[in-house]
Amino acid sequence: MGKGLTYADAGVSIDAGNELVKRIAGLVRQTYDMRVISGIGGFSGFFALDYDNKLFKRSYRKPVLVASTDGVGTKLEVAHAAGRHDTIGVDLVAMCVNDLVVCGAEPLFFLDYYVTDRLEVDTAAEVIGGIAEGCNQAGCALLGGETAEHPGTFPQGRYDLAGFAVGVVEKGRIISGAGVRPGYVALGLASSGLHSNGFSLVRKIIFERLGLGVHDRIDELSMTVADALLAPTRIYARAVREALSAYKVKRVIAAMAHITGGGLIENLPRVLPEGVCVEITRETWPVPPLFGFLQQAGEVEDSQMWQVFNMGIGMVLLVSPFYAEAAAQRLRKAGETVYEIGRAARQKDERRVVFV
C-alpha cells in the first residue's frame, strides 16, 4: 500500500497559512484601538460598539450600523502582470469605506477575503499589508478575514479579493441627499488617478490597442504603465469625518457621492432628490493627463469617458452655499485637494447631471 495522501498533496498548505498569520500579525494589530476586544486567530472578531471611554471622539445615542462590500475589479490583472501587490489592498479598503462615509458613517472595522490556488506567503503578506495600510488611512480596524486555498481553481500565482466594511452613524445624522436644494455647492475632491474602475477598458487600450507591457514607459505621462495604473485609490474617510465633526447641529453637508464606475453622470443622481440636478462646470478642475492619454489612444468618445471614469474627481459633497468655503477649507486642511465644480439646480429635463 502506498503512502497516504495529505492535505498538502491536495494543494493546501496548513504550514503556509500559519506562516502568513505570523507575518501579518503585527500589521493587523497596528490598526486596533481600545474598541477591539479580540485578537488574531479566533473564529470571529469582536468590536465594542457601546463605549463611554473619554479617549474616543464621541458616543452614539441611536447608532445605526452601515455595511458595504466591494472588490477591485480587473485592476487585479494589472497587479498580477506587474508583480506588484503592495497597494491593491489599499484599493480594496478604499472602495468599501468611501461608500460608507457618503452617508455620514464612521468606519469601524474591515474584513477581507483572499482566495488563491496555492498560498504564496510573500504575495499574500504584501496584499494584507496594503489592506492594513488602508485601514490605518481610514481610521478603522482590520478585525479579521479569510485566506482560502482552492487548488485547481485559479491559474498559478493568481488570487482574488473581496472586502467588507462596517461603520456607524447616529440615526438623526444620516446623510441621504434629501436636503439638497438648488444653489447648493458641489465640492469635488481630487482623485489619485483611475482608482479601481474602468480597468476593462483601460486594459483593452493599453495592452491590446497599444501593445504596451506593464513595465513599458509612457512618455506622455513620464511614468511606466504600472505606475500610472496602480496608483492606489484615495481614501476620503478621515477628511470627510473631520469636516462633518465641525457641524454637530447644522445640516451643512446635504449629500455626498463616491465617484466610482459610472463617473459623475451616474453616481451623483443616486443622492439627489426628485426635481434637482447638478450643473457641472468642466473647466473648474484639471482633468489628470492620464485620462486624456487614454481617450486619445483608444479614440474614446467624450461621453464614454465621463460615463466610465472619475475624470479626476473621486468624491463630491453638496454643501449649503453659506458654509461651502468653510467646508472646503476644512477639507483642504485635512489634506484634500478641493474644487468648486458646480451647483445644484432645478431639473429642466431628464438629465440629472448637466455639464455647462
CATH code of the domain in which 160 resides: 3.30.1330.10
Of the residues 107, 141, 173, the one at which a domain ends:
173
Per the CB < 8 A criterion, the answer to whether 229 and 202 are in contact is yes
Q: Kindly state whether residues 277 and 314 are assigned to the same domain.
A: yes
Same structural domain, 196 and 268: yes
Distances (CA, A) of 53 to 58, 87, 171, 356: 9, 34, 21, 50
Between CA 67 and CA 235 the distance in angstroms is 17
Per the listing, cell 483572499 goes with 114
104 and 226 part of one domain? no
Map grid coordinates 449649503 to a residue.
320
We report the CATH number of the domain holding residue 238 as 3.90.650.10
pLDDT score recorded for residue 40? 67
Q: Are residues 147 and 253 in the same domain?
A: no
Q: Which three cell numbers stand for residue 14?
A: 496548513
Residue 55, pLDDT score: 42
**Containing structural domain, residue 121:** 14-173
3-state secondary structure of 351: coil
Tell me, yes or no, whether 143 and 199 share the same domain.
no
Domain final position from 127, 147, 173: 173
Same structural domain for residues 127 and 211? no
| Higher pLDDT among residues 149 and 281, named by residue | 281
**One-character DSSP codes across 102-114:** TTTPEEEEEEEEE
Span 109-115, average pLDDT: 95
Is 168 inside any structural domain? yes
> pLDDT tens across 39-55, in order?
666 778 888 876 665 44
Please give the Cα distance from 110 to 128 (Å, whole number): 12
Residue 127 lies in a domain: yes
Q: Are residues 198 and 168 in the same domain?
A: no
Is a pLDDT exceeding 80 seen at residue 26? no
Across 136-144, average pLDDT: 94
- Assigned domain for 196 exists: yes
160 lies in some domain: yes
Residues 346 and 224 in one domain: yes
pLDDT tens sequence across 51-101: 665 444 556 778 899 999 999 999 999 999 999 999 999 999 999 999 999
- In sequence order, the 6+-apart residues with CB closer than 8 A to the CB of 137 are 90, 93, 235, 237, 238
pLDDT in tens, 6-24: 556 556 666 676 776 777 6
Q: What is the pLDDT of residues 202-226, one digit of tens each?
A: 999 999 999 999 999 999 999 999 9
